[in-house]
Structures are given as C-alpha cells and as structure tokens.
Amino acid sequence: MIDNHKQKTFSINDRVIFDLILFLFFMLLAITSFEYNPRARSIPLGLGLVGSVMIFMQLLVDAMPKLKGKLRFISQSSLLDTESKPKKGRIPEKPAHGRDQPLLPEEAGSRQEWWRLFRVILWLTGFILVLSYVNYLLAVGAFTIFATRVEAGESWKRSIILGASVCAGFYLLFDLLLGAQL
Amino acid sequence: MKRETMQKVKPFVVLCLVLALFLVTFGVNPAEAKFPAKNMTFIIPVSPGGGFDTFARMLVPYLQKYLPGNPNIIVSNVPGGEWNIGITKMYRSKPDGNTFGILNWPANALSQVLGTAKFDLTKITWLGNISEVTYVMCVSPQSKYKTLQELQKAPEVTSGVVGLASTAGLGTVIAAQRLGINMKPIPHDGSTEAILSAMRGDVDWVQYPLATLKKTIVDSKDLIPLWIYSKKRSPILPDVPTVVELGYGDLVDLVTMYRPVGAPPGLPDDVRKIWQDAFWKATNDPEFQKKMIAANEPAMPMTPEETTRLISQGIEMVTKYKDLIQKYMK
Amino acid sequence: MFESAIPALIEMITWPAPLYLFLGVVLGMAFGILPGLGGPQVLALLLPITYGMDVDLAIVLLIGAMAAVPFGGSIPAILINTPGTGQSAATCFDGFPLAQQGKAGMAIGASATASCLGAIFGAVVLTFLLPIGRQVVLLFSYPEYFMLALMGLSVIIVVSKDSLWKGLIAAILGLMLSTIGYDPVTGSVRFTFGSDHLWDGIRLVPAFIGLFAIGEAIELFLKKGKIAQVEYSGKISDVFTGIKSVFQYFGLFFRCSIIGTVIGIIPGVGGAVSNFIAYGHALQSSKDSDNFGKGDIRGVIAPEAANNSKDGGALVPTLIFGIPGSIEMAVLLGALIVLGLEPGPRMMLERPETVLILIYVLVAGNILVSIFGLFSAGIMVKLTYVPATLLAPVVFMLALMGSYLTHGMIFDVVVSLIFGILAFAMKRFGFSRVAVVIALVLGRLAQKTFHQTLMLWGVKGFFVRPISLGLFIITLAMILFPYIQAALRKKRGA
C-alpha cells in the first residue's frame, strides 16, 4: 500500500503536461470559433468547452492523487457504479481496450524514454527535410543508415547493408516497377 | 586507443564520401530547363475523374502534336483548397513555358474578388479556352413547384449547391436573384450528393452542366429540366426552353462555365507566341473537336485576346455580385 | 445483367486476364503488408499504367490489387502490431497478443478465412443488390446518415469501456480535429490558421498512417529485443485451428460481415472504421469478453470479416451513383472514369460484363491472396524474431513514404509524424486511439448531416422519418444494453 503522506499534494509529471496540452488545444479552438458564423461556431464551441472541462478535471486527478478518491467517476469504468467498490489506497487504472495500455505511474515516461523520443523526432524531421529538398532515395537510405547505427547501436556494416537494401527495394518498387513521379 | 579511434573513423569517412557522391549525383539541380523541355507539366487543380480532368487529358495529345519537339506532357492533379492550391502552384512555377494549368471560370474569380487569392488572374499568361459549358436548371419530381411562375411565387425554394466557390453555386445564387425567386441554398459536399438530394426530393432545384445531368434527365428521368442557360435550344433536350425565350437573356453569360488554360506570368514573348499558336491549333483540330462532341461538350476555342477579355469580364461580374455572395456566405 | 454471367466468367479466365489478376493480387498484398502503403496508394500508382489498356484487363488488375489489400494489411497487424492499412487496425488488438503467445499461425489462419469468406459475402450482396441498389441508397437522406454516424460514434463507448472518461475526451479530440478546414455546409473555413494545406481538413490517410504505423514504429524503436516472447511452435495445425474457428463462431462472422457490408453500402459513412465497429460489436455481443485484447480469436474474426465485406458493399454506391463508399473507392472511381467508364445506371445496362468481371475479380482476388497468406504464414512469422530496432526504421520509411505517395505532398508526411507522436503519447497515458479515429472519420459526416437536417426540417427532422427514428432507437439500445443487463442482474441477485 502506498503511503499517501509521502507524495506531494500537487505533482507535475508528464501525464499532467499532456493533459495540459490537450486542455490548451481545446481552449484554443473554442476561443477561435468565435470568429465564425453562429452555425459554424456551434459544434466546435460546445465541444471545445465540454472537452476543456473534462480534460481539466483529468489534469487535476493526475496532478493531485488524493483527488482520485473523491472524483472516482473519472477513473471508473462505467457510468453506473454497479461493480467497482472503493479500493484502499490507489485505484489502479484498468487498461483501455485496444491495446492502449497505460503504464503504471512508476514506469510512466522515464526521462530517458522522452529523450529518445525526441531524438527519433529529430531524425524524422531530418528525413522530411532531405525528402523535400533533395531526393527521396537519399532520404530513405540516409535515415535508415543513421537510425540503425546511432539508435539501434548496430554496426556500420549492418546499418549500411540495411540502408542500401531498403533503398534498393524502394527504387525497384517505385521507380522501376511503377514509374512513380517522385 | 589509437587503433580503436581509427577503426571508428574509417567507416565514418567512407560514409561521408558516399553521401557526398550521392548528393552530387541526385541533389544538384540540372541546368535551367529550356523550352520546350522533354517533359512538360499540365497542372489540374482538382482530383482525377471530373469534367476538368477528363477534358484536359483529352486535349493533351493534340497539344503534343502542335508543340515543337513533340514534348511529353505529364498531367499532374493538385487538388485542394477549392482550386487554390493548384492554381497557386502553377502561378508560382518557373515562367519557362514548361508548366501550365487549367482553370474553372468564373468560379476561380471568387477568391481574388474576396481578397484571399495568392495569385493575380490578370497577370496569368492566357493561352486559350477549351470549351464552354452549358448549364441546365432542373427541379425534383417531388417538388411542389414545377414552372418558373410557381417558383417565383413560392415562399421559399430550396436548392442543392456545393459551395459558392463553384460556378454552379454562384450561378444559382445569381439566377435566383435575377429571376426573383426566394431561394435557400442547402450546401452539400459534392455535385453528386446535391443531385441525389434533388432526386430524393429533399431539395427543389439543382443546376449543373448538361453533360453531367444528361443521364439523370434523359436516361433515368429522375429530374425535370425547366430551362437551359444558352442562346439556342440543345439538340439533346429539344423541348426545354432557353432563358432567352423566358425573357432573361442576360443570364446566359452569367451562368456559363469556361475551361481556360494559362501559364505563369512573365513568359518570354517568343515562348508565349509559340504556345498560343499551338494551343489555338490544338483546340481547332478537327479530330479533337469530334471527340468533344461525342462527349457531349463541343469545343469552344478562344484566342488569347478573347480569353483575356473573358477573364476581366468574369472578375467584373463576380465583383458586381460580391455583396450578394457574401450575404450567402454568412 | 445475369445473362452475361457466363461470358464474363470466360473472359476472366482467358489469358492474359489471369496473369493480370496474379500481378494485381501480388502487388495489392505487398502494398497491404507494407505499413503506410495500402489501397489508395496501389490504385494511385497503378492508374497511369492502365491508360490505354483494354478496359476489362485494367479492371482485373486494379480490382485484383484492391481485393488483396485488406488481408495483406492484417499480416503485420498480427505479427508486429502495426497494421498494414488503417482498416486492419482492430486486428492488432487480439492478433498481436496471439502472436506474442506463439499462436501467430492461428491468427493468420482465422484472418485469411474470415477475410476470404467476408469478401465473398460482400460480393454476393453486391450482386443481388445492384439491380435494386438505387432505391436502397435513395432511402437514406440527411437524418438517416446522421443516425448512422451517431451509431458509429456510439461504438466509442463500447470500446472505451475501461476508461470512459478518457475515451470521451479522445472522442472530443477527434471531433474537434474533424472540424478543421473548409466546411461547405456552414460555409466557413475553420481552424486553418492561414495554411492552405489545412483547407481540406486533416486528410484521413496520413492521419491513419501516423496514428497506427508511426505510433507503432516509435514503440518498436524504443523497445529493445524481439517481438515474440515465446518460441514459435511452427505447427501447421495451428493454422487449421484458426481456419476452423471462423466456422466455430460462424454467427459472429456472419453478423460482422453484415455490419461491414452495410457500412460499405451507405456511402461516406466510414468504411475506414468498419473494423472498429465490428470489433465493438463482438465485444458487446460476447458473454465472456474478458479475454478480448489478450488474444481472443473472436477479436480477429470480427474485424477481418468486416473489412473485407465492406469492399463489396462499397461498390454498390460507387457503381450505381458514382459516390465512393470508402477511401479506396474514391480513388477507384477516378480510375474508372478515366478508363472511360461511366458509373451509373447506364453502366449496368451497357456494360454488364464489366460489372460482373469486377465482382468476380473481387472474389477471386480474395481467394488468391488468402491462399498465398496461408502458405507463406510460416515464413512471415519469422519476422517476429528480428530485433525490433531493425524493423523500426523500415516501418518508418514505408509509413512516411506511403503518406507522401498518396498526394505527393510533404505536408501529409508532417501530419503523419505529428499523429505518430500523438499516438505514442496517447498510448502512454491511456487515451484510446480508436476513439480518436472513429470520431475523426465520422465527425465530418455527423456535423454535415446534422446541419443539413436542421436547415431543411428543424429538429423534428431527425425523429419523424421511420428509418432515422429506428436507427436512433437501436443506437440507444446498444449504449444502454450493458447497463440494463447489469441492473437486471443486480435485481436477480438481490
């Protein structure tokens, strides 16, 4: 059983940041919708406001674990409270269907993982730049080689082989076989 | 230590050299394209399959025939933004005569008149026109109003339109005002949905090109044609009166669509002359004209001067109705 | 039309048609398997090749490719949790856990069978419906479309059963995203912030690719080790178990085939989400649904039946009216028109052999690709033993190139990347991606028809027409059913 006293009352973890981003997004759209005519405004405004309220409450629950007990409907599984009984300590979240299994709080987004994600995004951005300004084969080859070498820690040989084969595969399929205009 | 570092550096250097080689081969741009290039691009600012796409593609072999050097013309569909993305792409491409595009007239005048266009239609190098599209006004068989007089007296008539940035939409709005019909436009996602709505009886009025509606009017008799926007009756619908006969002859010019073709502004004079000459010959080619008639849309070649005049007239007309259009966009 | 049944069949067997069929199926399967590439891309790329070809042969090639895509897409869904195409996304839910348990063969067997039979079901319905399809499609007007969209949206509630609050938030996110762009019905351009590219809103194909392929690729990239946790038993009997299971749960298979076909028939309702809706139905209608998400074979049968039967259904409005019933149909329609065909009542009268060949190829293509799949299952399973970090770059490349290829716009690639990051975050924090997808796909339809109904008839428009009222009641029943069941159980228990 986790000792509630040891935890901070209000903690900002990555979960809270994500909630905040969603909240800002909803608010942004709700506010922008005032620029449009009433009919166009109706649905985005309504949804934006409802969404903002909902995500804000989620944010509170994620930031202040103590609230989980009081606002149980946010974590519970169904509208009617027919099955779930209050559990002592934390209420673990059941995974949502569709393999969107949230990590337990202890695992959630370690710094290292976010840093790796950031690097992946950098690589992909590089890929997109090369794709738009140079040539797609080069982009594909370069990305594969660098991503495999640097991130996966594979040897240069393996990386270049993989990069070259992916390049060749694409060239075969798109340029030769289908004559695509890229 | 040294050997380790050397081992790490060597493959890295090799990789850099390979990359440099790649860059040189693929990355460096070829010299400025001469006209006529081996490959030219015909930009069609809508998705494949519609009237513009079909007739543009039909013209391509004849353009190739009359352009010097028998170039390969690649058709590039650039849909999006109600024609704006494609037109902008053509407008901004190099004025070397190797890129050109088709436009939807007078609908494409709307964004310029409203001030949102990223191009200036008067600066485009106009090459000519492919055809003139005649519109037919139809009512639903389930509609309560089946004659012009009934429509004029009706408290409200619903019409199926796609959007005001289309010639059909613009035409409906303008015609309603001119004819004194109290019209409420019901917007749809595409012309097929709007036509379906009329077939179901959900809306009273739709008007679209004759070629589009022919099968619904003549073959399946799902819609009732009331009048046609042209000076003479159509041989396909001999019993349908023209707006001229009904006393509203000025609507002919207001509700007719054209398919002009243009190139980016600033084309060198010699290139422009070659192009306009070739385009005129292509649209007048007897074989091409026969194909267009078979497709229910006779060709209507126009000289560059006539095309330019068409453009400025269109801009004038849309400007005149700007307030009315904006009222409907609220 | 049926008089041409035999001549059309003969034409399909005459050389070189079988060669084109084979080529089309191989290409379609390849595109289906490669995440990021799918129906729209293979059709868009085959289209220029078909110019100048004999029309019937072109149809064999194009439809052959299209038919092979859905099953192709389910293979990586099962093996590496990355759907080859958006319509196979739901197959991941139970297919991948099965692969992890070393039962990939069973999943592939069930998938191949459900796909093939589902496609046949859809084709049969198509054949009999075509003559009367006009009346059927004309029965549906704005209120009916809205109710259908609503019904589709209500599946979100079923699918987010274990985290309803977050599921609803995700749904609202999807709905908000669907409002971006030019909306002809309200006549306004919303939330584009000046970008021309957002004018048409968030395009579905890049969004799907981002949410499923890129999202998974990021997972693969960050994971260490291999995918399969268990040694593959390599038994052929595994595959047969899978095949048998479709007949074991024939009722479910049949119902999901109906669901897929109906969703396909009503144009624009979202063939893209037919697999989720079928999965949701399977969840709801199964008494012991606890195993769903952990490797229940029913979770594979349901979506696989639906995503194939929908193709048959989607051809109904496409051929009869020229309104595409799904994303692939939109591209196919363009292809048919460029080939010189005129989808509409005349095509049925003037070219019945072409229509029949189309249907035959749909069936033949599916049978062929299922056979390929079953035979190559063993080889493909080996993929799960490749280190994930080697797979990741390849999946990334395919996904991003797939995005680029659909319309040739870099913007789509950026959209995919953003959705990929969003998918990763959503997975980490327990928000349902399925909810976003369903809402994104159905959002536009729901809003459009909502406003159209109000404009023409006001609020009562939804409830006076029999079909729309009926659909509304069914939707309510679907949502409330589990709660009514629970309440009744409580009463009995007390």
DSSP symbols for C394-427:
HHHHHHHHHHHHHHT-HHHHHHHHHHHHHHHHHH
CA distance C108 to chain A (A): 19
8 A C-beta contact, residue C102 and residue C248: no
Residue from B241, B234, B239 nearest B296 by CA? B234
- The CA distance from C189 to A118, in Å, is 33
What tokens were used for C181? Answer: 């762009």
Q: Hey, what amino acid is at C150?
A: L
Instruction: Check A156 against B12: CB less than 8 A apart.
Output: yes
Residue A76 — very low, low, confident or very high, per pLDDT cuts 50/70/90?
low
Give the chain C residue whose CA is nearest to the CA of A38: C186
Q: Which fold has domain B39-132+257-329?
A: D-Maltodextrin-Binding Protein; domain 2 (3.40.190)
Judge if B39-132+257-329 and B134-254 fold alike in CATH terms.
yes
Give the per-residue pLDDT at A105.
41
Instruction: Check A18 against C160: CB less than 8 A apart.
Output: no
- Per-residue pLDDT at C324 exceeds 90: no
Residue C352's alpha-carbon distances to A77, C46, C319, C432, in angstroms, are 53, 24, 11, 45
What tokens were used for C118? Answer: 């589902």
Checking DSSP bridges between strand B39-44 and strand B99-102, what pairing results, if any? parallel
Contacts of C346 in chain B (CB under 8 A): 215, 219
- The CA distance from C57 to B197, in Å, is 35
Q: Where are the domains of chain B?
A: 39-132+257-329, 134-254
**DSSP letters of A22-65?**
HHHHHHHHHHHGGGS-HHHHHHHHHHHHHHHHHHHHHHHHHH-T
8 A C-beta contact, residue A150 and residue C256: no
Residue C372, CB-side half-sphere exposure with 13 Å CA sphere:
20
Contacts of B162 in chain C (CB under 8 A): 184
Most confident option among A148-157, B290-299, C308-317: C308-317
Residue A181 — very low, low, confident or very high, per pLDDT cuts 50/70/90?
very low
Backbone angles phi, psi at B105, to 5 degrees: -115, 135
Q: Across the interface, which of C413, C421, C430 has its CB nearest the CB of A96?
A: C430
Residue A65's alpha-carbon distances to A76, A103, B12, in angstroms, are 14, 16, 50
Q: Give Dmax (Cα) for chain B.
A: 98
Residue A91 — very low, low, confident or very high, per pLDDT cuts 50/70/90?
very low
Q: Hey, what amino acid is at B120?
A: D
What tokens were used for C148? Answer: 């259908």
pLDDT per residue, tens digit, chain B (330 aa), is 455 444 444 455 555 555 555 555 544 444 445 777 878 889 998 876 667 887 888 899 899 889 988 888 888 888 777 788 889 999 999 898 899 999 999 889 888 888 888 899 999 999 999 999 999 999 999 999 999 999 999 999 999 988 766 778 888 988 998 899 999 988 887 777 888 889 889 999 999 888 778 777 777 788 999 999 988 888 888 889 999 998 888 888 888 899 999 999 999 999 999 999 999 999 999 999 988 887 778 899 999 999 999 999 989 988 888 888 777 766
* Residue B240 Ramachandran class (φ > 0 left, ψ -120 to 50 alpha, else beta): beta
pTM for the full predicted model: 0.81
Contacts of A32 in chain C (CB under 8 A): 190-191
Residue C235 — very low, low, confident or very high, per pLDDT cuts 50/70/90?
low
Radius of gyration of chain B (CA): 25
8 A C-beta contact, residue B281 and residue B292: no
Q: Where are the domains of chain C?
A: 2-228+237-493
Q: Hey, what amino acid is at A21?
A: I
DSSP for residue B299: B
Which H or E element spans position C48?
A: helix C39-50
Give the chain B residue whose CA is nearest to the CA of A182: B76
* Residue A138 Ramachandran class (φ > 0 left, ψ -120 to 50 alpha, else beta): alpha
- The CA distance from A56 to A62, in Å, is 10
pLDDT digits (tens, 9 = 90+) for C424-449: 999 888 888 888 988 988 888 889 89
Tell me the three state secondary structure of residue B135: strand
Give the per-residue pLDDT at B322.
84
Instruction: Check C337 against B48: CB less than 8 A apart.
Output: yes
pLDDT digits (tens, 9 = 90+) for A104-122: 443 445 677 788 788 888 8
C278 touches chain A (CB under 8 A): no
Residue from C293, C257, C274 nearest C151 by CA? C274
Q: Which fold has domain B134-254?
A: D-Maltodextrin-Binding Protein; domain 2 (3.40.190)
B5 vs A163, more confident: A163
Instruction: Check A160 against B15: CB less than 8 A apart.
Output: yes
Q: Which chains touch A (3 or more CB pairs under 8 A)?
A: B, C
Which chain C residues in 340-369 lie under 8 Å from chain A, judged by CB atoms?
none
Predicted-complex ipTM score: 0.80
C213 vs C308, more confident: C308
| Helical segments of C160-214, H only | 164-178, 204-208
Give the per-residue pLDDT at A152.
61
Instruction: Check A37 against B26: CB less than 8 A apart.
Output: no
Burial of residue C369 (CB within 10 Å: 0-12, 13-18, 19+) is buried
Instruction: Check B15 against A137: CB less than 8 A apart.
Output: no
Q: Which of A5-9, A69-73, C276-280 has the lowest mean pLDDT?
A: A5-9
Provide mean pLDDT across the span C55-84.
Answer: 89
Give the per-residue pLDDT at C216.
82
Contacts of A147 in chain C (CB under 8 A): 221, 392-393, 396
